[in-house]
Amino acid sequence: MVFSALGKLRAGLKKTREKLAGGLKSLLSMGRKLDEDLLDDLEEKLLTADMGPTTAMSVMDSVKDAYKKKEFEDPEGLYEHLKRDLASRLQQNVTPLASVEGGVTVILVVGVNGTGKTTSIAKLTHLLTSEGKKVLLAACDTFRAAAVEQLDLWATRTGVEIVKHSSGADPAAVAFDAAEAAVARKVDYLIVDTAGRLHTKENLMKELEKIGKVLRGKIDTAPHEVLLVLDATTGQNAIIQAQAFNESVPLTGLILSKLDGTAKAGVIFGIQNEVDVPVKFIGLGEKQEDLERFSAPQFVEAMFE
């Protein structure tokens, strides 16, 4: 059976749908009266959801405001209001993946170790090559021995070339060779894997700046995208990581990974409410086919219907 994109998303979001949407629905459709008591219960429910307290309180402000203005008259109307409110928080600044006309588009992929950077690069490579784009990979995570090998394996599987040095090499030197090769081979996309050591923020920043500078030496508008990978299963930690990275690296987009099977996908509302960077891709598994371009209306449909 072929899974449609929405079917796969629906399957991935099943646990969140049951927990978040199901929880709200059962609270708001028990034939209860629409009163302050119900609003208190709703607030309690939202505060324990993965969107985080800041976003939960902001949603409650919107609900209370609409309640005062009598914008809905029963719990079902309140549920519809909630759905619209949450959906609207996902639709800000949505921009497609950068694409440099007639040149190389450079994508820098950053994030904490284990969030899914390398796997997401493989999935993005598959998505772009299946659309006829020529992709080159740069193994700039030289910090861990297995990292270069892992990306190399994905290059073979996805049928693209890779620029790599041995592990322990200077990431900027890899970036230099990769940028040169990308221009010479006229690729459409150069995707750069990086190390993720957030606990030494200064070092990480310096390294990413150095990689950026070296890339610009060959491709003067690079990087065109800086994508941060966030692991949805870490819940509110993902919000904290997005804030921390966004303070030190100018991010252009987010990849929310591991949405398959987690009950914590509600974290996306917190991420988009508290960090002004759009989710561009979502990861729904470990295989190269398991990445989708983010669509807020589809996501909301899969989450609530």
Residue nearest to ligand GDP (CB): 283
DSSP state letters, 39-80 = HHHHHHHHHTSTT-HHHHHHHHHHHHHHHHTTS--SHHHHHH
Show contacts with Mg ion in window 145-184 (CB under 5 A): 147
Query: For 162-180, b where at least 16 C-beta lie within 10 A, e where not — what string?
Result: bbbbeeeeebbebbbebbe
286 binds, among Mg ion, ligand GDP, none (CB under 5 to 8 A by kind): ligand GDP
According to the binding rule CB under 5 A, does residue 272 interact with Mg ion? Answer: no
- Tell me which DSSP letter residue 96 carries: P
Amino acid present at 184: A
The minimum distance between CB 51 and Mg ion, in angstroms, equals 28
Which residue, 20 or 124, is less far from ligand GDP as judged by CB?
124
285 Rama sector, left if φ>0, alpha if ψ -120 to 50, beta otherwise: left
**Residue nearest to Mg ion as judged by C-beta position:** 118
CB of 81 or CB of 123, closer to ligand GDP:
123
Report in angstroms how near the CB of residue 141 gets to ligand GDP at its nearest: 7
Q: Which is nearer to ligand GDP, 111 or 171 (CB)?
A: 111
Binding site for ligand GDP (CB under 6 A): 111, 113-119, 196, 229, 257-258, 260, 283-286, 290
Find all residues with CB under 8 Å of 168, minimum gap 6, and list them.
142, 145
Query: Which one of 8, 117, 258, 280 is in contact with Mg ion (CB under 5 A)?
Result: 117
